[in-house]
Amino acid sequence: MAEEKTIQEHEIGLSAEDIAKEFKEHSVAEFFKKNMQMLGLTGKIKTLTTIIHEYVTNSLDACEEAKILPDIEVQIKELGEEYYEITVKDNGPGLTKETVGKALGKLLAGTKFHRMMQMRGQQGIGAAGCTMLSQITTGKATSVITGTSKGKPFSAEITIDPKKNEPKLDNISELDKEFHGTIIRAKFKGVKYVNSEQAPMEYLRRTAVANPHAQITLIEPSGQKIIFKRTLKEVPARPVEMKPHPRGVAIDDLITLAKYSDTRKVSSFLKNSFDRVGDKALEELAKGISFDMNKDPRQLGWDEAEEIIKQFKKITFIAPRTDGLIPVGEERIQKSLQSIVNPEFLNVVTRKPSVYSGGFPFQIEVGIAYGGDAGRVAEANEEGVSQRKIEIMRFANRAPLLFDTGGCAITKAVQSIDWKRYGMKDFENAPLTIFVNLISVHIPYTSAGKQAISDEDEIMEELRLALMDTGRRIYTFIGRQRRLAEKEAKRKMFYKYATEVAYAVSELTGKTKKDIEQKLHSIVLKHLKLEEQKEKEMDQKSEMSEEEIEKEYEKRKAREKKDSEKKQKKKGISGGDE
């Protein structure tokens, strides 16, 4: 009977009042608790790497802001089946008693979200996301020990109340020792430590490449200690906080900013809050505005904000300031790649800063390493010789991106280039490491997991230009190498036959073999010298245009075809013997 009634109820349908009983509010923490994958906390290996990424990027950001040379230690302990304890220790500025709870136990809280500044973190969900994951997989709190330059260090246990998105601090106790920095220790279940391309070790190796000023130590579950030594003793310049550019702002942004402004007039609010808005711009602005600019910014209405935005679009502003961007720098990338992949050829290109839609300044750095240990080791070929395949190292504000490869603007840009034009016939299997770092005050990630960059037109364009530039240089290098190899082979061949030819000619002409041999040698030398001259001319043209490269490539293809035909013929005559 009861069942029947339920079915009937189903058929009746609920009234608005009945449905209203189910109406509830949720906190952002509850939302992310249900959607941990949005934070990149999904998959056993990926989760572990993401946790380390969150802690390490926080340590690097904090050290950079405080102008401290980072010393970071990551320890991973295996506690059981898919059960690990992670400890990350840094020598940064530390956290205060007031902020530590929110920093590690409240989502969407932090020192970065509201500032337009080139930092690794930007959403305020990394550290607290980890605290929550630890809590829901093990039921345990996250421990922290932190010390600042003032007062005594202290330890505390932090949990998060997902219903309220509020932190809870327990066992706070002051420590009787000297310590500046932060140590975070948390336990996680359902994660796995392996040594793969997407694992913590590779993540930290890449972090070291893009942060040559940081010393990073990894203690693996086996107890093995790996140290990525710093190759540079200079702290990078502190990133500068920037203001939004008027061309990129939307009505809603303008109203929100105005609401929290502590200025008293709309005119001074605009001048204070935006990049490139000075007296001249305000004068221009006043021409198209129907209200008094002395008005209180907190009273700014939607229509008025719309008027401002419309007028902003008519004014020719100077492009956004880009001096707040701090690239790694050509020399540093060179040094880093040199020490890590020890390549035969290395080239780094830093593009000028540019701006993508929304008025956000960004800049691209590309490094290309060829030969040596460049590329990633792939399976051995039939003869058992290990092969190398192309390796793309993606970075956003110096933080490595290891996941969502296909969906990332960097990968798309690399794939969009016709590498054959740059002398790379089999690009996928070339011994190449391509380093790409995108820096910006706001990285347009495709999701909160922060693993892929969205393909904004301006970003794609800059990426392609930088890649083509390095491509051109590598083309010159590969060409030069090929010519050297050819020359070497030719020289060997000439000398090999010179003796035999000299003998035969001496028989025919009656002249001494020695004389003939000497003559032949000088002919060979002259020939090679002429080639050298040609080579020099080629090298001088290292800055080739696209068309020239195209031509060069066609020429090379024709030459290779001829060569192989010749070889075939030779093989035929000599019966295949070399």
Ligand X SMILES: Nc1ncnc2c1ncn2[C@@H]1O[C@H](COP(=O)(O)OP(=O)(O)O)[C@@H](O)[C@H]1O
Which chain residues interact with ligand X by CB under 6 A?
A: 54, 58-59, 62, 90, 92-93, 95, 103, 110-112, 121-128, 182
**d(Cα 218, Cα 428) in Å, to the nearest integer?**
31
**Shortest Cβ 425–ligand X spacing (Å):** 43
| Site track 177-196 with Mg ion (rule: CB under 5 A), x = hit | --------------------
- At 543, list the tokens: 């800055």
Cβ 400 to Mg ion shortest distance, Å: 14
Closest to ligand X by CB, 167 or 371: 167
The item of ligand X, Mg ion, none sharing an interface with residue 244, based on CB under 5 to 8 Å by kind, is: none
Whole-number minimum distance, CB 129 to Mg ion, in Å? 9
Give the nearer residue to ligand X in terms of CB position, either 242 or 474. Answer: 242
| Cα–Cα distance, 210 to 522 (Å, whole number) | 52
For ligand X, the closer CB: 53 or 189? 53
Q: How many angstroms separate the CA atoms of 15 and 52, rounded?
A: 49
| Of 58 and 451, CB closest to Mg ion | 58
Centroid of chain to Cα 284: 40
Residue whose CB is less far from ligand X, 65 or 373:
65
Please name every residue paired with 367 in a beta bridge, in sequence order, or none if there are none: 348, 435
Task: Determine the Cα angle at 211 with ends 60 and 346, to 5°.
Answer: 165
Residue nearest ligand X, CB atom distance = 121
CA–CA separation, 438 and 460 (whole Å): 11
How far is residue 286's CA from residue 311's CA, in Å, rounded to a whole number? 9
Q: Return the amino acid letter for 470.
A: T
CA 317 to CA 285: how far, in whole Å? Answer: 11
Nearer residue to ligand X within complex by CB, 180 or 487: 180
Assign 408 to helix, strand or coil: coil
Residue 92 binding result from ligand X, Mg ion, none, given CB thresholds of 5 to 8 Å by partner type? ligand X
Q: Which is nearer to ligand X, 65 or 82 (CB)?
A: 65
436: Cα separation from own chain's centroid: 6
- d(Cα 282, Cα 269) in Å, to the nearest integer? 11
Distance CA 346, CA 342 (A): 9
Q: Report the partner that residue 59 touches, choosing among ligand X, Mg ion, none (CB closer than 5 to 8 A by kind).
A: ligand X
| Distance (Å) of CA 46 to CA 77, 191, 440, 526, 537 | 17, 8, 25, 61, 51
Q: Which does 125 bind (CB under 5 to 8 A by kind): ligand X, Mg ion, none?
A: ligand X
Quick check: 251 and 306 in contact, CB under 8 A?
yes
Whose tokens are 């003869």? That residue is 383
The answer to whether residue 244 forms part of the interface with Mg ion (CB under 5 A) is no
Nearest CA among 192, 170, 8, 10 for reference residue 104? 170
Q: Report the nearest approach of ligand X to the CB of residue 107 (Å).
A: 7
Q: Which of residues 104-133 bind Mg ion (CB under 5 A)?
A: 121, 126
DSSP 182: E
In the bound complex, what is the minimum distance in angstroms from residue 54's beta carbon to ligand X? 6
Minimum separation from the CB atom of position 40 to ligand X (A): 12
263 φ/ψ angles, rounded to the nearest 5 degrees: -90, 165
Minimum CB–partner distance for residue 183 and ligand X (Å): 9
Please identify, using beta-carbon distances, which residue of 121 and 375 lies nearer to ligand X. Answer: 121
Nearer to Mg ion, 107 or 549 (CB): 107
Q: Please answer whether residues 444 and 437 qualify as being in contact, where contact means their C-beta atoms are separated by less than 8 angstroms.
A: no
CB of 145 to Mg ion, least distance (A): 19
Q: Round to whole Å and give the CA distance between 274 and 258.
A: 11
CB 59, min distance to Mg ion, A: 9
What distance in Å separates the CA atoms of residue 524 and residue 520, rounded to the nearest whole number?
A: 6
Tell the smallest beta-carbon distance from residue 61 to ligand X (Å).
6
Residues 44-103 contacting Mg ion, CB under 5 A: 58
DSSP label at residue 453: B
CB contact set of 260 (below 8 Å; sequence gap of 6+):
none
Q: Closer to ligand X by CB, 32 or 228: give it.
A: 32
Binding residues (CB under 5 A) for Mg ion: these are 58, 121, 126
